[in-house]
Every structure is written in structure tokens, then in C-alpha cells.
Amino acid sequence: MDIHYDPAAGGFQINTNTAPKKPRKPRKAIGSKAGRVAINLAVTLVFGLVYFYISLPALNPHAEEFYGFVFLLCLVYCGCAMLTSGFTGEGAKGYFGFVKKQCKIPFFIVVALVVVGLVGSLSSWVVLRANSYQKLLTVQPGDFASEVDEISYDQIPMLDGASAQRLGDRKLGELADMVSQFEVADDYTQINYQGRPVRVTPLRYGDIIKWFNNRSSGLPAYLVIDMVTQNVEVVRLTEGMKYTTAEHFSRNLYRHLRFGYPTMMFGEPIFEIDESGTPYWVCAKREKTIGLFGGVDNHGAVLVNALTGESMYYEEVPSWVDHVYSANLIIEQYDYYGQYHNGFFNSIFGQRDVTVTTQGYNYLAIGDDVWVYTGVTSVGGDESNIGFILSNQRTKETHYYAIAGAEEFSAMGSAEGQVQQMRYNATFPLLLNIAEQPTYFMALKDASQLVKMYAMVNVSQYQIVATGSSVMECETNYRAMLAKNGLIGEEQTEVAPTETAELHEIAGVIQEIRSAVIEGNTYFYFALRAGDTDGSIVRASAAKNLIAPLLSVGDRVTVMYRDTDVGQYWIDAYDITIS
């Protein structure tokens, strides 16, 4: 069609007698048919290797990314075939016809992928397999008072993850030789190490340039944060960690795992150390147990030595390993267990006997293992728990304790209300057995995220709240309140003696002394002068230190205390003698 302006004709004129379009010039095919197939395969192979190196899909039909990987390979092959064959067709019909005729094998592979994916998804659909999902987790009923031992206050973790991270960052800032090149990773895994609850985390490179400068020697250290004493130790390594999530290329942990175990699916690697302090990555082996894609569970783990990269799969992991099953996986499986007791539709309509976990979890050290704790509530979303679970993160052994009481956030609010004038914020509680009473224990932090006090709240009667500047003081006050409310006898008010805490001493002359009555208990506070400098403020309970009421200004005393007796403002005396 041609448009031109002709004044004599009265304006624009349209000429419809235009020349027809020239036909598209056909492209020549490249070489022989066998040669073209070889080129197509070579290009597809190169693309597949590059994609596999970058994306690291598991070569496993239970992995969704496997289907995407094979589909991309087929797509690349078909695209190359169009180019090498000189195909000049038009429209979707033309391309489809070419693929169907010239790329039969990739075509039928894609069709098979779609069919298998649809059937696999249907066979994994929770609506049809609710009973199988409900059986992913075996839950045993338990008795809390008899199964969960009381732990001495020198074994109670006092830090949450945020506080541990703050301490770790501060510690690294003190190390001039490291702070310019490295950062602290965000792992902060809680484990039992040599009988102590600690959090461990590796370092990571500050950026790609700092990785390039330090990659030959690896990461030089990891941090161990004692959850009780709040002491941060930088463990320097004679041989640096060369296999971590912070590495690049072949030493990157994810790539190292995929090349060593191309068909395995893995959970997120967890950083741990064995009892000798050697750093490892615990990489849980993932399995889909319901249909093709449903019922995620773990079965053993691959342990990777962070120093050397040596790895081995264990169906039953060594006892020093604490994290095979993540807290999120255990909570997901319990939610299946609680919701699908009576089928899928009951979880939506009627909801008879339907329970779910509460929003949050914490860790409890029992024996040599770490157990994850979370509350259980009815699906109605009220502010009370009907019980709680403890689940072993190494074996997935799970116990349910039917104890009705306040849910965790209500207990946190109760603790914060006890010191509302301070405007402290409570951490997510830890579940403890105190005098055979299920008890929420939590730290109270100020706006700077520093731990200032501790609180204990009774699970069944959350109006029973005790606080203290040290764990010992908090437990002493809590036991007194339990006795006052008739939940325990007077003989149970004594805090259990601590056998594992190290005793320290401080000696000096009393400069000033005062007394106060707190929740029915008399305490004496005195300032010590140690040598030529001011010493510490010491607090002594008259009930536990019979000599305290006899002390006067000018007396020279020796005070014994434990690590856990050190509060924010004073030291709680374990024993006092007059020099």
C-alpha cells in the first residue's frame, strides 16, 4: 500500500497496487544431519555444564529443580536444531511442527516430564494424602516432671540469638588483625560443647576483594559464645577453614556437596564443632517420602570437615552432632500431626481435635543433645497453650506434655509488666523444670539489647512472676513465690547446689553497707575496696550467708562467687568469710 499527496485530486491518495512482499530468503542447513546433531548435542552439553555449575540442581526425580534443568536442556537443543537446520517457519504451529518432527527425543522427554510432574504432584497432594502427612512425626506422650530433669542455674542459657550476635560482633571489633578483613557469619548455632550450652559461628570474608586476598589461607577462626557466662572466645585455627558457605568456585560448600553427591538433596548446612573443636558442616540428607514431592524429611547427614573438605555420609550421625532436624522442619511436621488427626477436611470444617504449634521456639539442653521446644495451642488462636512438645534435633524423638497454661507471648507480657517502669523487653522463653513446675525462663533486655534482668513465669499460673538481676536471685525469688502460692513445700525453696560452676573470690575492706527486704528476703549490699582501687558491689542473702547481718564498715572479708552470680549491678555472694 502506498500513500501520497496529490493537490489536483483533492488531497491524500492511497494506492493499493503495491508490490507484493519478497519471500524470506531460506537459510542453508549446516553440514550433514549427523554433524548437525553433534553440534546440537555439544552446545546443549556446554550449556548444561555451565548451568549445573552455577545453579547446582540435584539430579534426583524427587527434586523440583531437576525437571526445570532437563526442560532447559531440551529447550536449548531444540533452539540449536532450528538454527543448524536452517528452519524458517513462522508462527507457533510452524515451530511446534518442526520440534515434533526434527526433535522427537527432546519433545517426548518434555511430554514425559509434564506427565510425571502432574502425576507426582497429585500423588503428593495433602488433600489426598493427609493420613501420610500426619504420620511423618511420631509423638510420644510424656510426664514433664519425671522426664525433664531440673538443671542447675549455671547450665541455663541466658542469651538469645540476637544477644549472642551482638556479643560476637563486638568481640571481632576488638581484634585489629581480623576486623579489617573478616566479618562474623549469621549462623550462631546453639550446641552442647564439652557439657556447656554454647553458640558457635564461623567468620566470613568482608567482600570479594578480601576473599581474593585471603583465600589461600582460608578463614582463620570461629567464635564460641558461652550461653551461661556470656564469655566470647575466638578460636584461632592453625589451618584455616577453606570449605564454607562464604567461599567461591569449587570450595564453596554448596558446590563441594553437589559435586560429591550429585543425586542427594540437602537441607541448609549447619555449622558445628566436635568435642575436640574441629569445625564441621552438618548437611542433612533430604528425602521426599510422600509421592514425588511431598513429605519432606531427613535421613542421616553428610559431615564436611571445614578445614580439609573431607566428607562422609552417616545414616546415624555421631553423638556429638546436635542439629540434623531443623526446628522449622520439626514444627512443620508437628503441624501436620496436629491438624490431620481426623483427615484433611476436618482441619478446615469442624476442626475437631485440631492443634498447631505457637509462633516461636527455643532450645533446651538435655543430656548431650539439643531439644527444640514450642508450645501447642488449639486452632482457634486463643492466648493459652494446651501443652508443648520437646523434640530431639539429632534423632527427631518427640514428646508431648499436656500441660495447660499461658502461651509464650502472654508470659513474655507478664514478665515485662513486672518491670514495666524499666521498659525492658523479654526474649522468647526457655522451658525449664523448676521444683517440678513447668516454668518459662527469659532474659529482660533494654533498648540497647543488653541483658539487664531475668524472669521466671509459671506456665500454669502465669500471674506467678519472679525477677532477679542474676539467675540465682531469680530462681530463689521464684521458688519463694511458688511456696507462697502453695505449689511447692518450704523444703523445695532452696536452690539446688551447683557442682559444675567455677568458684572465684574477691577480697577487700567494706566501705559502705546497706540492707533491703525483697519479697520477704533480707539482703545486705556492701561496697568493697580492693587494694588501692574501688572493688565491686556485693549482695549477700541473710538466709544463705548467716554472717551477713554481723558485718560492719571496715571489716576485711573474702567473698566467694560463681560466674553465674555476676549480675548487671552487683555480685551475689556464695560464701563470705571475715579475714
Residue ranges of domains in the chain: 33-123, 157-314, 327-403, 408-492, 503-578
Q: Give the model confidence (pLDDT) of 250-292 as tens digits.
A: 999 999 999 999 999 999 999 999 999 999 999 999 999 999 9
For the entire predicted model, the pTM comes to: 0.82
Average pLDDT, the chain: 88
Mean pLDDT of 138-142: 94
Rounded to 5 degrees, φ, ψ at 393 are -80, -5
Q: List, as one string, the DSSP characters of 383-442.
A: SEESEEEEEETTT--EEEE---EE-HHHHHHHHHHHTGGGT-EEPPPEEEEETTEEEEEE
Q: Give the model confidence (pLDDT) of 474-500 as tens digits.
A: 888 999 999 989 998 876 777 665 544
pLDDT of residue 230: 83
Architecture of domain 503-578 in this structure: Beta Barrel (2.40)
Q: Give the model confidence (pLDDT) of 192-232 as tens digits.
A: 998 889 999 999 999 999 999 999 999 999 999 998 888 89
Q: Give the model confidence (pLDDT) of 73-82 as tens digits.
A: 999 999 899 8
pLDDT at 114 over 80: yes
Between the two ends of the chain, the Cα-to-Cα distance in Å is 115
Question: Residue 357 is inside which H or E element, if any?
Answer: strand 355-357
Q: At what angle do helices 91-102 and 64-85 cross, to 10 degrees?
A: 100
Residue 346 confidence class, pLDDT cut points 50, 70, 90: very high
Give the three cell numbers for residue 187. 549462623
pLDDT of residue 541: 82
369 closest CA partner among 396, 339, 341: 396
Total number of residues shown for the chain: 579
